[in-house]
């Protein structure tokens, strides 16, 4: 089944009571699926349809091919009628604070380079996270900007690096951050890049087939990549040792999927959820010990979902949000190594899908994602192990389908 996106094209927000693939819609050309949006703003699954346009209110469905229909719990569209060139965000003119108000003065001029002192401080500071790319303006605009969160503030790094993309994956490795894949508005990508705290470097290596929506996490000095989507969902396992990618032929293995999440804990990588093209949202838990996969059967588990955020803090994997067949989610769960435990904080970030998270020494940081039709979220929240706090800071423009990883 193929869904084609064209660079820079706005995402059509579609709503559906159940997200089943319409097999009659398989008439689009083979290419990567567009970053889908959930049209509902809901609180732990309660829809508020009146606050968002319905599937036909803002776009004329006649201008889209039938394969704008999407698979389970995601909302791809055929963007062949959209603009042909990916737009790169002018960060000097768009920067959003936590209230999503435009603050043109908050973002540094993309043409100005930080001085060497600033670069050295950012590169050497422990407990920082790197955010790269995604899409803004309802995904009209694909991004390739680099931002650093140091536990207190966002700083944009005006550096050259990977081309624009969304739906990529990032993970820490041996003092660097590794980036793989994504979607550039026209095709899935299969390139590998590393960030050393100062510069991006493309690695001239072969590796996993090009894809969007993979997940990556680091264990025992190796980055592990699982799944993703191109013309079909992937169910393959790959590891990166800093020099080369190696495919791991292992049985059993999680079913093929996309838009899942992974994080490392106690000698294992934990995988939860995601979507498949021909089935329901997934709510299964698997662990990877560096050599084999094991399906876990906890006594309780988060509801099935995709596009959730996960990171490890204080000996627990923290999961937040995502979306399912009924809309966006805003619940918080932790995995303690044997069971999922729902948290009940007094306040929480708004429901969302496609946000990103990373855990620092100062706490877990959650940024952005998609809640309603417009604008995309640009809020920053931190989790200290028991409570969420919104941070009143300026930073990256609102976006979804970006990637973020903590610097080792």
Burial class (CB in 10 A: 0-12, 13-18, 19+), 282: buried
DSSP E strands in 254-387: the ranges are: 261-265, 268-274, 282-288, 293-296, 309-313, 316-324, 327-335, 340-342, 356-360, 363-369, 377-383
Identify the pLDDT of residue 59. 29
Identify the pLDDT of residue 408. 76
Q: Could you tell me the end-to-end alpha-carbon distance of the chain, in angstroms, rounded to an integer?
A: 39
Identify the pLDDT of residue 312. 97
Identify the pLDDT of residue 348. 97
114 secondary structure, DSSP code: P
CA-based R_g, the chain, Å: 19
**Structure tokens given for 49:** 């349809």
Sequence ranges of the domains in the chain: 87-406
Q: Is residue 53 within 8 Å of residue 61, measured between CB atoms?
A: no
Q: Is residue 239 within 8 Å of residue 222, measured between CB atoms?
A: yes
CB hemisphere CA count around 57 (13 angstroms): 11
DSSP E strands in 40-107: the ranges are: 87-88
**Structure tokens given for 110:** 């993309």
Query: Mean pLDDT for each 10-residue chunk of the chain (408 residues)?
Result: 33 33 32 35 33 30 28 35 34 33 33 31 56 93 97 97 98 96 97 97 97 98 98 97 97 97 98 90 97 98 98 97 95 98 97 97 95 87 98 97 94
Q: Is residue 385 within 8 Å of residue 314, measured between CB atoms?
A: yes
Q: CB pairs under 8 A, 24+ apart, for 115-120?
A: 118/155, 119/157, 119/198, 120/198
Q: Is residue 182 within 8 Å of residue 203, measured between CB atoms?
A: no
Q: Is residue 307 within 8 Å of residue 331, measured between CB atoms?
A: no
Identify the pLDDT of residue 139. 87
Identify the pLDDT of residue 375. 83
**CA–CA dist 168, 141 (Å, integer):** 15
Write down the residue that tokens 């001085």 correspond to. Answer: 115
Q: What is the pTM of this model?
A: 0.74
Q: Is residue 350 within 8 Å of residue 382, measured between CB atoms?
A: no
The 10 Å CB-count burial string (b at 16+, else e) for 263-273 is bbbeebbbbbb
Q: Which one, of 29, 46, 32, lies nearest residue 74 by Cα?
A: 32
**CATH 2.30.110.10 assigned to 87-406:** no
Q: Is residue 233 within 8 Å of residue 1, measured between CB atoms?
A: no
Burial class (CB in 10 A: 0-12, 13-18, 19+), 9: buried
Q: Spell out the alpha helix ranges (H) of 185-342.
A: none
User: Among positive and negative, which fits the CA dihedral 30, 142, 153, 37?
Assistant: negative
The helix (run of H) or strand (run of E) holding residue 135 is: strand 129-136
11 secondary structure, DSSP code: P
The 10 Å CB-count burial string (b at 16+, else e) for 13-45 is bbbbeebbbeeebeebeebbbbbbbbbbbbeeb
């Amino acid at each position: 089944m193929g869904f084609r996106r064209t660079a820079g094209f706005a995402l059509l927000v579609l709503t559906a009571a159940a997200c089943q693939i319409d097999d009659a819609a398989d008439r689009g050309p083979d290419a990567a699926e567009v970053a889908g949006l959930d049209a509902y703003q809901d609180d732990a699954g309660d829809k508020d349809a009146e606050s968002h346009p319905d599937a036909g209110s803002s776009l004329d469905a006649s201008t889209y091919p039938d394969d704008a229909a999407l698979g389970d719990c995601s909302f791809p569209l055929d963007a062949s009628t959209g603009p042909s060139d990916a737009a790169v965000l002018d960060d000097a003119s768009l920067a959003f604070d936590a209230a999503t108000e435009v603050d043109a003065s908050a973002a540094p001029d993309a043409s100005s380079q930080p001085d060497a002192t600033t670069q050295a401080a950012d590169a050497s500071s422990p407990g920082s996270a790197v955010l790269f790319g995604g899409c803004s303006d309802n995904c009209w605009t694909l991004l390739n900007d680099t931002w650093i969160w140091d536990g207190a503030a966002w700083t944009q790094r005006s550096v050259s690096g990977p081309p624009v993309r969304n739906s990529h994956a990032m993970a820490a490795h041996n003092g660097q951050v590794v980036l793989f894949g994504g979607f550039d508005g026209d095709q899935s990508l299969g390139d590998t890049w590393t960030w050393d705290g100062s510069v991006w470097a493309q690695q001239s290596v072969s590796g996993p087939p090009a894809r969007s929506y993979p997940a990556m996490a680091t264990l025992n000095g190796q980055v592990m990549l699982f799944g993703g989507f191109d013309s079909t969902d992937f169910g393959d396992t790959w590891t990166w040792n800093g020099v080369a990618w190696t495919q791991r032929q292992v049985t059993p293995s999680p079913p093929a999927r996309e838009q899942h999440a992974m994080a490392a804990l106690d000698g294992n990588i934990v995988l939860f959820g995601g979507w498949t093209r021909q089935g329901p949202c997934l709510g299964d838990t698997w662990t990877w010990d560096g050599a084999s996969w094991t399906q876990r059967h906890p006594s309780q588990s988060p509801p099935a979902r995709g596009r959730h955020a996960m990171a490890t803090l204080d000996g627990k994997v923290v999961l937040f949000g995502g979306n399912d067949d009924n809309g966006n989610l805003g619940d918080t769960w932790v995995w303690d190594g044997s069971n999922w435990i729902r948290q009940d904080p007094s306040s929480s970030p708004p429901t969302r899908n496609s946000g990103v998270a990373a855990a620092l020494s100062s706490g877990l940081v959650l940024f952005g994602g998609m809640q309603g039709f417009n604008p995309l979220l640009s809020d920053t929240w931190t989790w200290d192990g028991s409570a969420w706090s919104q941070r009143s800071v300026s930073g990256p423009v609102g976006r979804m389908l970006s990637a973020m990883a903590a610097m080792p």
